Amino acid sequence: MTDTALNLVQSLLYTGDLLQPQGGALAFSAGSKLFEEGDGADCAYMIDSGYVEISKRTECGKKVLAVLGPGEIVGEMALIDGLQRAATATAMHETTAVVIPRQDMWAAINEASPIVRLILMAAMRRLRGTQSPDVNWTDEIDDPLDPQAGLNPYYDATRLTAANQLRARVALEAAIRNNEFELAYQPIVSLIDGRTNGFEALIRWPNPNGQAVSPGEFVPLAEMTGLILPLGAWVLKEALLALKSLDRILEKRGKGDGNVFMSVNVSPRQLESDENVEHLAKMLEQPDVDSSRVKLEITEQALLCDPKKAMVSLSRLKATGASLAIDDFGTGYSSLSYLHQFPLDTMKIDRSFIYRLTNNPGGQRVVAAIIALAHELGMDVVAEGIENASEVQWLQSHSCRYGQGYLMAKPAPLSTAVDYLDRHFEW
């Protein structure tokens, strides 16, 4: 336990009741109180050994509500809703308990989705209501489900965020069902000869009113809700079809040399379970798919969470014959000790580095170092987000072979994108 947590607890408790902490837990003698009804709350406890009686004062004397034992949490209610302790907790025998400081619990609560937070608050209010039916809790705690409520800004904000997220989730589910998504294709161009080598497939959600929802908004929501699994599978399927369409179109034009590749973004959640990875691998291993022309883009962050697991997933995908790119490189503080062990073919330098290139010697040194690192590890380099010719010139002179950005072309429907194959980009 940290000194701060210990001080916190010591300031809250009678020092007389507090025995010496043992092995990271606080010890309470039989009959001493962890807290009393009506106290303010700054921590909860997890009982390590012994038993704690939870009781309330009533007109007829003490009423025992529960007896809690090892592994159970006590004192969390007041910590969550910020109200006074609703009951008294008394050690029944010598009891040890680990302190859960307020800040730790709130850090965990704030990390949860707004829907989970809303459910927690609603459950808390109902629990308080059953424990003290005589108190009108709506006066004290804002009802998260009551549209008229407006007493507590935190609850209000949570309710609004949760409601928006629920609505967006429903809309996203319907859009997947109704096949409302499309792919746009952005060329990845050789900075040496200006030719298009491949495309990145980027998901689009067109809106009936013409205003597309940005993937920057709905992809994170799809990841949070798990809808990225059907959506990601749809993207791969559609991108594989597009690759075939491209070949047919080029063949008709007498130009089918069949070496254009298709990059597809894969979300970290698609790599989380062996089953999901297997699903992707099986799609790539279908007999009519030329997986050697497919590149899977995996963000740096996805590799960081659990590098050993990522290694297994990437090896399985690599075994399909597809190539692998590390996306948004530089944004995730890659563990360089792992980087060389991943079976990666391409490094995509994040747009934020390219944007800072011009007239920025510090930024240039960083990009030059990233390019050297990628080459050292045997990877191709793609610079993302190229918007002006001076960036191309700098990248050319620093051996960056490939680029992608609005300077060459914005993402476009396949019918437009195919024409980029005829072009020879110049800058």
Please report, as residue ranges, which positions from 279 to 298 form the binding site for ligand C2E (by CB under 6 A). 297
Query: How far, in whole angstroms, is CA 424 from its chain's centroid?
Result: 39
How big is the site for ligand C2E, counted in residues (CB under 6 A)? 22
Q: Quick check: 346 binds ligand C2E (CB under 6 A)?
A: no
Q: Are 356 and 363 in contact (CB under 8 A)?
A: yes
Query: How far, in whole angstroms, is CA 278 from its chain's centroid?
Result: 21
Buried b (16+ CB within 10 A) or exposed e, 186-225: bbbbebeeeebbbbbbbbbbeeeeeeebebeebbebbbeb
Which of Ca ion, ligand C2E, none has residue 54 at its interface (CB below 5 to 8 Å by kind)?
none
Q: Quick check: 300 binds Ca ion (CB under 5 A)?
A: no
Task: Please identify which residue in the block is written with the tokens 């690599």.
Answer: 318
CB of 95 to Ca ion, least distance (A): 54
Pair of tokens at residue 292: 């050697």
CB of 269 to ligand C2E, least distance (A): 8
Give CA–CA dist 142/367, Å, rounded. 51
Q: Quick check: 53 binds Ca ion (CB under 5 A)?
A: no
Containing H/E element for 93? none
Task: List the x/- string, 168-187, binding to ligand C2E by CB under 6 A.
Answer: ------------------x-
Q: Interacting stretch for ligand C2E, rule CB under 6 A, among 57-65, 149-157, 253-261, 399-407?
A: 399-407
Q: Quick check: 216 binds ligand C2E (CB under 6 A)?
A: yes
Q: Are 311 and 342 in contact (CB under 8 A)?
A: yes
Q: Which is nearer to Ca ion, 42 or 297 (CB)?
A: 297
Q: Quick check: 202 binds ligand C2E (CB under 6 A)?
A: yes
Q: Which is nearer to ligand C2E, 215 or 321 (CB)?
A: 215
Q: Quick check: 265 binds Ca ion (CB under 5 A)?
A: yes
How big is the site for Ca ion, counted in residues (CB under 5 A)? 5
Q: Quick check: 297 binds Ca ion (CB under 5 A)?
A: yes
| Residue of 18, 80, 118, 203 that binds ligand C2E (CB under 6 A) | 203
Which of ligand C2E, Ca ion, none has residue 215 at its interface (CB below 5 to 8 Å by kind)?
ligand C2E
Q: Quick check: 391 binds ligand C2E (CB under 6 A)?
A: no
Task: Please identify which residue in the block is written with the tokens 């960081």.
Answer: 304
Q: Which is nearer to Ca ion, 61 or 216 (CB)?
A: 216
Question: Which of the 8 DSSP states describes residue 427?
Answer: -
Please report, as residue ranges, which positions from 351 to 390 form the binding site for Ca ion (by CB under 5 A). 384
DSSP sequence for 245-287: HHHHHHHHTT------EEEEEE-GGGGSSHHHHHHHHHHHTST
Task: Please identify which residue in the block is written with the tokens 């798990």.
Answer: 226
Name residues whose C-beta falls within 8 Å of residue 283's C-beta, 6 or more positions apart in sequence: 233, 236, 237, 240, 289
- Residues contributing to the site for Ca ion (CB under 5 A): 265, 297, 327-328, 384
- Residues contributing to the site for ligand C2E (CB under 6 A): 186, 202-203, 214-216, 219, 232, 235, 265, 267, 297, 327-328, 351, 385-387, 404-406, 411
